[in-house]
Every structure is written in C-alpha cells, then in structure tokens.
Amino acid sequence: DAKTTQPTSMDCAEGRAANLPCNHSTISGNEYVYWYRQIHSQGPQYIIHGLKNNETNEMASLIITEDRKSSTLILPHATLRDTAVYYCIVRVRGNTGKLIFGQGTTLQVKP
Amino acid sequence: KAGVTQTPRYLIKTRGQQVTLSCSPISGHRSVSWYQQTPGQGLQFLFEYFSETQRNKGNFPGRFSGRQFSNSRSEMNVSTLELGDSALYLCASSLEGQGAWDTQYFGPGTRLTVL
C-alpha cells in the first residue's frame, strides 16, 4: 500500500474551513484515498474516500489532484467538535480488510 | 442500523492472565478486522476474519488470536498478558472486506490495562 505523509498538527479557527493536506506520491492507479478521524480515545470515524474525482458528503469534501499524488480534506465550517486526529489512508482495490494508519494530523479547532 | 459494538469497554488484568474481547459487527457485515492502538506504535492491524476464516494477519506474536462465529461476531484473545499489551483494541467491520469501495466502520474500542 502506498505511504502517506501528513503534517503532524494544524490549527483552525472555529467557523473557518479546515484544509488538511495529504501527500501520497507513490499511489497506484487502483488505490483509493480514505480519510478517517479519531476523537480522543474513541474509535476512528469514517469521513470520505475517493479514487480520482473530487468527492463531497455531509461531513467533508475531498479534493484529489489530477496526478493523484496528493489530496486535501476540507471541513467547510470547522467546529470545536472537529478537534481530532485525521488519518489519510491509501487503500488498494481488492485488498483484504486491512488499513495501514500513519501518525495522522492533529487538528485543533480554536474558538 | 446499529453500529459496531465492543464489549467490555474497559478491562483491567494482571500480567500472565489471558483476556477475551468481543466484537459485534454491523448487521450484514461479514468482515471483521482487529487493531491495536498504543501511544508508541499508533494504530496497528492485528488480523481480519471473513466467513469464520482468518484472511489476513498482522505482525503480532501468537499470543494474539481470534475467531469469528457463523453470525459474524468475532472475539480476540490475548494469552499470557504482558505490560506492553495495555492498549485500546479496536474492531472494524465491512461488508466483504475486499475492494477499496468497501468502507470499514469502527467500534468504540476496548481499553485494556495490564498491571
């Protein structure tokens, strides 16, 4: 599975958009980008995933660059409850149920 | 639809004991994966079960084992507990476990403390 690189930590003002970057320069054509977040000591929560097109759901938007070497998770209006560790994961199509987590980005939303 | 449930939520054991953790997947999900999370190592994959068979295994010693029942519920067992086994143990379920479209959903975890 492709390796991902994320900043260790980021801050965001409440009500503003939070843009979380992820680098996956070795991604293959059959690998999806997944985002999860983990609020302190809870189980990771699925946010969104995509292959090559931009995706949006009720939680967030995922922007994947045309060369697919990086992506950005966007939380459009961050709230204090969005404070969490955000994980960017690249997952191979057809792989078994195994996710490889990196260290993630700790997002601190401040009032 | 109910989410993934794990029992117990908290557990305290002493070194040398063994422990069994339980996971009930989302209804209709047949794949169950287990993860260990520690401050030092982060989230690490333990193993995955599908149709009562272990399909994938992470790099953990044989003291860590699991099984899956015909109703897709899963248990994991850790024998001869060590202090380093103190961790949050997470279970995740998905429909089939294969295909990058098949999203995994996590339970709240079991916090194991080994004294």
- In tens, the pLDDT along A1-59 reads 668 999 999 999 999 999 999 999 988 888 889 999 999 889 999 999 999 989 999 99
- pLDDT confidence tier of residue B103, bands split at 50, 70 and 90: confident
B100 closest CB neighbour out of A32, A45, A103? A32
Q: pLDDT tens across B3-48, in order? A: 999 999 999 999 999 999 999 999 999 999 999 999 988 999 999 9
| H-helix or E-strand spanning residue B111 | strand B110-114
Which DSSP letter does residue B84 get? G
Nearest CA in chain B to A99: B45
| Residue B101, pLDDT score | 66
Which of A47, A98, A103, A106 should be substituted to probe chain B, the one whose Cβ sees the most B Cβ atoms within 10 Å? A98
- Tell whether B95 lies on the interface with A, counting CB pairs under 8 A: no
- Tell whether B45 lies on the interface with A, counting CB pairs under 8 A: yes
Q: pLDDT tens across A47-67, in order? A: 999 999 899 999 999 999 999
Neighbours of A61 (CB within 10 A): 17
Q: Distances from the Cα of A28 to the Cαs of A2, A51, B53, B84, in angstroms?
A: 7, 10, 29, 36
| Residue A10, pLDDT score | 97
What does DSSP say about strands B74-78 and B110-114: parallel, antiparallel, or unpaired? unpaired
**Cβ contacts of A46 on chain B, cutoff 8 Å:** 103-106
Asked if pLDDT for residue B99 goes beyond 70, the answer is no
- Tell whether B56 lies on the interface with A, counting CB pairs under 8 A: yes
Q: Where are the alpha helices (DSSP H) in chain A?
A: none
Buried b / exposed e over B9-28, threshold 16 CB at 10 Å, is eeeebeeeeebebebbbbee
| Residue B22, pLDDT score | 98
**What is the rounded CA–CA span in Å between residue A11 and residue A34?**
21
- pLDDT confidence tier of residue A96, bands split at 50, 70 and 90: low
Strand ranges inside A1-111, DSSP E: 9-13, 18-23, 31-38, 45-50, 55-56, 61-64, 70-75, 84-92, 105-110
Is the peptide bond prior to B8 cis by the omega test (within 30 degrees of 0)? yes
Burial class (CB in 10 A: 0-12, 13-18, 19+), B60: middle
Which DSSP letter does residue A43 get? P
- Tell whether B43 lies on the interface with A, counting CB pairs under 8 A: yes
- Tell whether A57 lies on the interface with B, counting CB pairs under 8 A: no
- pLDDT confidence tier of residue B102, bands split at 50, 70 and 90: confident
| Residue A2, pLDDT score | 64
